[in-house]
Amino acid sequence: MLRLPELDFLSPSTIEEALQMLADDPSGTRVLAGGTDLVPNLKRRHQHARRLVSLGRLASLRGVSGDPAHGLRVGAMTTLRSILKNEVLEQHWPGLIAAVRSISSPVLQSMGTIGGNLCLDTRCTYYNQTEEWRSAIGYCMKEAGDTCWVAPSSSRCWAIAASDAAPLLCAIGARVRLASTRGERELAVEALLCDDGIAYLSKAPDEVLTDVLLPPAGTWKATYWKLRRRGSIDFPVLGVGTALRVGKNGVVEDVRIFLGAVASAPVRALAAESILQGHILDETTLVSAGKAAQEVATALDNTDFTMTWRRQMIPHYVAGTLRELADLPRVGLLGADGLEC
């Protein structure tokens, strides 16, 4: 059986206790939430820990609270399953529900948390492998080595940001609260996630993500489309989180589009946004926006499917989110008849 390395398990009963435990040994301690990312990574020995600090007993980090008109707060330890069952969220940010519903599988959703989802390690098929496998090709840059096997001439790691919630949360301008013994701070989800396969979080190792803060929905509408091989279990090979505000005259007042799984962090499709901004959302405009979105993606050969095809899919998926938000009819069969979206 593939097993975890020996380690100490700590289960603080207050957040203060947890923060102190992390401060005691920040480099050797990891936060354990649902464990659905951390446990496989530790089992395969590409992440390491001497101690795990479980947040399982911290009830204060669980649940959805706040006033929708002023913004909701989702505790970091709220499971994906309870998010899916939350009626307030469903009513105000159905796009978040769509993103969360697309994560992994039902049984993983009852373990995985929203905080863990935002702090997911970046992924790469050269990296998410056992120790034996990695030794057979030689460790890459994300570990002990100095070459990136995906792009050997590159000086950086291109591992993929695989969170499904992140692109959507970026698009709606959500923020997170981080806490450590040094105090609390708040920053945009966009600023939490860095486009670097190795240093993919701006969070310090001793910081705990305590809350995800959603802005009031107001007239925003948002949705998330995901491309993956199977209808369940699989990580995204492309995710599109789109948030849109359309004026009474049908003109796009505001739009934010983030692509997931095509870089080491969700990337903002600014060129696409500027095509839409101030225009009526018709078929022609959204198709050219979809095409423009392609430019920011650096799809490489380190996940399922070919990189060329994944890039080709971007216009279809970006346009798909826009049509859905603009209540325009679907084009092609995408999203219908069981085809993935």
Q: Please give the residue ranges that form the binding site for ligand FAD (CB under 6 A).
A: 30-38, 40, 55, 76, 80, 103-104, 108, 111-113, 115-117, 119-120, 162-164, 208-209, 233-236
Using the CB atoms, write b or e for 162-198: b if 16+ within 10 Å: bbbbbbbbbbbbbbbbbbbeeeeeeeebbebbbbbbe
CB of 289 to ligand SF4, least distance (A): 29
Helix (H, G, I), strand (E, B) or coil at 221: strand
**Contact region for another protein (CB under 8 A) — 40-48, 155-163, 168-176, 184-192?**
40-48
- The nearer residue to ligand SF4, 140 or 267, going by C-beta atoms, is 140
Residue 235 binding ligand SF4, by CB under 6 A? no
Nearer to ligand SF4, 99 or 161 (CB): 161
From 73-81, 151-159, 174-182, 183-191, give the range in contact with ligand SF4 by CB under 6 A: 151-159
H/E segment holding residue 268: strand 267-268
Query: Residue 237 or residue 326: which is nearer to ligand FAD going by CB?
Result: 237
Q: Rounded to an integer, what distance in angstroms lies between the CA atom of residue 181 and that of residue 179?
A: 7
Does 263 sit near ligand SF4 (CB under 6 A)?
A: no
Q: Which of 156, 174, 157 is nearest to 165 (CA)?
A: 174
Q: Which of residues 286-305 bind another protein (CB under 8 A)?
A: 304-305
Cβ proximity to ligand SF4, 127 vs 258, nearer residue: 127
Separation between Cα atoms, residue 272 and residue 194, nearest integer Å: 21
Give yes or no for a contact between 23 and 16, defined as CB atoms under 8 angstroms apart.
no
Q: Does 265 bind ligand SF4 (CB under 6 A)?
A: no
Alpha-carbon gap, residue 91 to 278, rounded angstroms: 27
User: Who contacts 65 (Cβ-Cβ below 8 Å, separation ≥6)?
Assistant: 72, 73, 75
Tokens of 221: 């509408």
**Residues 70, 87, 136, 155: which binds another protein (CB under 8 A)?**
136
> Residue 314 interacts with ligand SF4 (CB under 6 A)?
no
